[in-house]
Amino acid sequence: MVDPAAIPRRHRSTATRVIDAQAVIAFAETTMVQILNDVGTRVWNLIDGKRTVAEIAGAVRGQLEADGYKSIPAELDTDLDAFFGELGAQGLITWSGSES
Amino acid sequence: METTTYRDIITKSFVESRPLNAQWELTFKCNHLCGFCYNAPSGQRELTTAEIKRGLEKIRELGVLYITLTGGEAMVRPDFFEICGHVRHLDFALRVYSNGYLIDEEKARRLKEVDTFEIEISIHGARAETHDRLTGIRGSFDRLIAGVGHLRKQRIRTILKCPITRLNQDELREIWDIARFFECSMSFDPVIMPRDDGDRSPLALSATKEFLVRFFSDEFKVLRHGADVKKRDDMGTMTNCGTGKVSFTIDPYGNIFPCVAWRRKWANIKDVENLAELWKSSEVLKQVRWAAEQIPQTTLKQSQSGEFCSFCPGVAERQTGSPFKMYPQAEAVADARLTAYTTKQAAQAVNTANRCIKHA
């Protein structure tokens, strides 16, 4: 479980372009290229080393509502939790502001 | 998390002519004297640091992901790392092409510090006498090997690439072994290009036709990463290549070309105001994209070995005056592929026949 107060920061070796609402992330540490879906891209764009996980989750929810998403999945928070976990496991983000 | 593969992104960018990579020749100055180099310096003033930085900002607005810094030898510029830093500051992924001569322990560390995504190093022989003969610089092989060692120590993805020439064609397996020793990727290029000013003297170093047939046979399959020689599967349906579509090239004077080989200027990075708009509206780019689309159905269909041909319209135009006209190197390599292909097919047919006879 990711600490909602934790602050994710993009790994310094990433480079990102958003193409058709999908973030294309080139990661020099692994030389892998990762593609994110629409929601993942929204999250990635909000990772600025200042916002907490809770703030990012709230902002994403707000964006989806503003963009007219009729049904925001009930499991959004769970999905985001897993997503942050995956980003961390891949080394694409580092953490500050908590012990995570 | 993944909804689309990177290949999908590349394909879509290709179809929609959306550039992902810009290759920037920072300088034509070089510390090597390779006889097969295609660069043709014109003596104009090369761009300043500030001009390059401003140019990178314009490219950023175009949505490009990768910046590839090359030359000449890009690392001879005193501001090389300052430019690398700006590339990263603008959130590009950084690629570097180099001859490796200047990469000592400190330079490798700095390449790591600027988060180099990958670096491609040219190797021209498995032995100092061959490599140094082709580069024209004594000691260049030893410096190259040391440089690759420093890069690998920093865990920077390193790709060795070898233009095949008649001087190194008998050392390819040993070159492959060097790449394996350093855990580098390796690629061999069978095509030597004429110089950008049309001078064909580099072609004298091209690999022999006999060797090229061997290179495309199973004897060298491992060095082709296990790939069988096969017919192009895009004949009549796809464009010939990505020129003017997914990447472009800038020379040291700021001139922008559709690709490294096709030097039809479509802008200068110093003067252009809206690069994204020009990328869409440029008549030069429209012409080269159109030409590339015609080639599979015209030039390649008319050639006996066209289905096996890696045709470059830029080289064709430089060498023959027309982007559609077959040129000798492309034909020689295609013929070699065709010969290797038909020889293998014939051998397989004989084997099949022998098995049938045996069972009859």
Q: What is the pLDDT of residues B246-268, one digit of tens each?
A: 999 999 999 999 999 999 999 99
Percentage of the residues of chain A whose pLDDT score is greater than 70 = 95
B169 sits in which H/E element: none
Instruction: Average the pLDDT over B135-140 and give the result.
Output: 97
Confidence of residue A100 (pLDDT cuts 50, 70, 90): very low
Q: Is the pLDDT of residue B350 over 60?
A: yes
- Nearest-neighbour CA in chain A from B21: distance (Å): 12
User: What was the pLDDT predicted at A75?
Assistant: 81
Q: Are residues A34 and B1, on separate chains, in Cβ contact within 8 Å?
A: yes
Task: Tell the residue number behind the tokens 């928070």, with chain if given.
Answer: A77
pLDDT for residue B239: 78
Is there a contact between B101 and B73 (Cβ–Cβ < 8 Å)? yes
Peptide bond into B72 cis (omega under 30): yes
> Of B57, B43, B29, B50, whose CA–CA distance to B273 is shortest?
B57
DSSP B227: P
A88–chain B nearest CA distance, Å: 13
Calpha distance B145→B131 (Å, rounded): 11
At B303 the pLDDT is 92
Number of CB atoms found within 10 A of residue B81's CB: 15
pLDDT at B305: 93
Q: Residues of A numbered 5-24 whose beta carbons fall under 8 angstroms of chain B's beta carbons: which are they?
A: 12-13, 15-17, 19-20, 22, 24
Q: Which of A16, A31, A33 sits opposite B91 (nearest CB)?
A: A16
Q: Is the preceding omega at residue A68 within 30 degrees of 0, hence cis?
A: no
- Residue whose C-alpha is closest to residue B316's, from B266, B265, B261: B261
Are β-strands B93-98 and B66-70 bridged in parallel, bridged antiparallel, or unpaired?
A: parallel
The DSSP letter of residue B206 is B
* Cβ–Cβ below 8 Å for B91 and A28: no
Across the interface, do B2 and A37 touch by the CB < 8 Å criterion?
A: yes
Report the pLDDT averaged over residues B291-309. 92
User: Closest residue of A to B5, CA-based?
Assistant: A35
Helix, strand, or coil (residue B231): coil
> Which residues, other chains included, contact B297 with Cβ-Cβ below 8 Å and sequence gap of 6+?
B235, B236
ipTM value of the model?
A: 0.89
* Token code pair at residue B84: 């690398």
Q: How many CB pairs under 8 A join A and B?
A: 62
Contact (CB, 8 A) for B141 and B125? yes
Do B116 and A12 lie within an 8 Å CB cutoff?
A: no
What pLDDT, on a 0 to 100 scale, did the predictor assign at position B234?
Answer: 64
B6-15, B69-78, B201-210, B309-318: the lowest-pLDDT one: B6-15
